[in-house]
Amino acid sequence: MSRVLGAVDWLNDQAGKAISFLIVFMVGVMTYEVVARYAFNSPTIWARETVQFLLGGYAILGGAYVLRHRAHVSMDILYDRLSVRRRAVLDLVTSSFFFLFCGVLLWYGIDYAWSSFSVGETTGSTWNPPEGIIKATIPVGAALIILQGLAKFVRDLITAVKGAAPE
């Protein structure tokens, strides 16, 4: 079991590290746009939408990495006062909401992306790039976060039963 959990962690660590480079690419695109616009009076028609697409992909695909490292924003007023076992039990109880939300995101994300690809949907802007590519990040990101959520669920279950976090 620990090998499977480790593999899920490794997958989401690698995906998160790869996705993190999108920020560098976004900065490059915006720098290019600013220089082209203000230094050469030659603005692009593609920079704004490119950055929007990259940011959307960054946000949805980075979710599993953030879950893996417990970096989501939370208010731990009561949670921090609980024992390790009680935290795990609380996480197990609330995980049903997590899996419901992510399951819906995966289910409708697949349909959303498939519909976009099947009709050749584009943004309708002057540049007019295809939207299916960015919409496909929704089910991929949802699948990654579900995998990480399952790993967390198993760890919480072990913690709730044994009273200590698994190694």
107-151, pLDDT tens digit by residue?
999 999 999 999 999 998 889 999 999 999 999 999 999 999 999
Q: Read off the pLDDT of each residue in 31-43 and give the average, rounded to a whole number.
A: 96
For residue 28, is it within any domain? yes
Least Cα distance to 134 among 33, 67, 51, 26 occurs for 51
Q: How far apart are CA 41 and CA 21, in angstroms?
A: 29
Q: Provide the token pair at 11.
A: 């997958």
| Structural domain total, the chain | 1
User: Judging by beta carbons within 10 Å of its beta carbon (0-12, 13-18, 19+), is residue 154 exposed, middle or buried?
Assistant: middle
Q: Provide the token pair at 139.
A: 């089910």
Amino acid in position 158:
I
Q: Distance from first CA to last CA of the chain, Å, rounded?
A: 11
Q: What's the pTM?
A: 0.89
For residue 14, is it within any domain? yes
For residue 167, is it within any domain? no
Q: Encode pLDDT of 48-81 as tens digits.
A: 999 999 999 999 999 999 999 988 877 788 888 8
For residue 112, is it within any domain? yes
Q: Read off the pLDDT of each residue in 8-26 and give the average, rounded to a whole number.
A: 95
Q: Is 122 in a helix, a strand, or coil?
A: strand
For residue 133, is it within any domain? yes
Please give the residue range of the domain that contains residue 83. 2-162
For residue 18, is it within any domain? yes
